[in-house]
Amino acid sequence: MSTAAESKTPAKGEIVLEARNIVKRYGHVTALDGANLELRAGEVLAVIGDNGAGKSTMVKVLCGAVVPDEGEVLLDGVPVHFTSPMDPRKRGIETVYQDLAVAPALDIATNLFLGREVRCRGILGSWFRMLDKRRMKSEAQKEMTELKFRLPSIESSVEDLSGGQRQGVAVARAGIFARRLVIMDEPTAALGVRESGEVLNLIRTIRDRGLPVLLISHNMPHVFELADRIHIMRLGRRVALTTPKQHSMGEVVAIMTGAMPGNEQAPGADAVK
């Protein structure tokens, strides 16, 4: 089982993922107009912006769902070319989408290993392709315990879980298998206060295990609670890079909507403190 703990963790503050001058056009519409982004080791970077700011397109570029027209993406300083969602996954990048991508009828352990099922050793696995369900359940329980995410039973069907628990399973799966970073698209959308709190704690645990997190969210209180830095987008590009200590929530919203001027590189926001 490949986990974050097994990979070499870069020094805090080093750039892990970078997007340079990304351009993406859809006919006459320019979704990204020379957009830049840097995700550093040991941080939660929140990407925010109004509808149409380019957040979703940037996420799709970084997770391989969209190929940019111009610009480049670098992983650990090396240019990479993602042409499908499988490309970043092979390089240790996991994405949690808004629709979760879980199988409700299957149990938690099976969902955690979805697409990465463990086969039995020997002839049973190689010839008969039998799955080692006992091992998957054991490892799933171990990982969920280490992530400090409470569940009724690792054998519970996902359809029997609450919305927050389902989201937790999707987030945990990304945290368990990611080796370089995790991208999360609106992970607390449609969740209540208590359930959101559980997911936020899980994200903190993943960050504390050494995985940087790219968080896309409309929820400003959650952004200010979690983020080390805040990347503000408007009209297809970054207009400001700040931290919760440098700007208030009201100021960040004002920059996001254009009511207040931004600053492409806010002083002191260039590294994780």
DSSP string over 218-229: S-HHHHHHH-SE
User: For 52, left (φ over 0), alpha (ψ -120 to 50), or beta?
Assistant: left
Given this model, what pLDDT does residue 97 score? Answer: 83
Of the candidates 249, 183, 247, which has an alpha carbon nearest to the alpha carbon of residue 222? 249
User: For 27, left (φ over 0), alpha (ψ -120 to 50), or beta?
Assistant: left
Mean pLDDT by 10 residues, the chain (273 residues): 52 90 96 97 96 93 96 96 94 85 86 84 76 86 84 87 86 90 89 86 90 94 96 96 96 94 58 45
Given this model, what pLDDT does residue 269 score? Answer: 47
Size of the chain, expressed as the number of residues it contains: 273
| 191 within 8 A of 100, measured Cβ to Cβ | no
Specify the residue for token string 């400090």: 148
Q: Judging by beta carbons within 10 Å of its beta carbon (0-12, 13-18, 19+), is residue 33 exposed, middle or buried?
A: middle
Q: How far is CA 83 from the centre of its chain?
A: 18
CA distance 224 to 234: 19
Question: What does pTM read for this prediction?
Answer: 0.86
Q: What are phi and psi of 234, to 5 degrees?
A: -155, 135
Q: Which helix (H) or strand (E) element contains residue 172?
A: helix 163-177
**Residue 78 in 3-state DSSP?**
strand
Specify the residue for token string 């049973």: 124
CA distance 160 to 174: 21
Given this model, what pLDDT does residue 271 score? Answer: 46
Encode burial over 61-93: b for 16+ CB neighbours within 10 A, e otherwise.
bbbbbbebeebebebeeeeeebeeeeebbebbb
Task: Choose the CATH number for 4-100+162-257 among 3.40.50.300, 3.90.226.10, 3.60.40.10, 1.10.238.10.
Answer: 3.40.50.300
Q: Residue 25: CB partners within 8 Å, gap ≥ 6? A: 31, 69
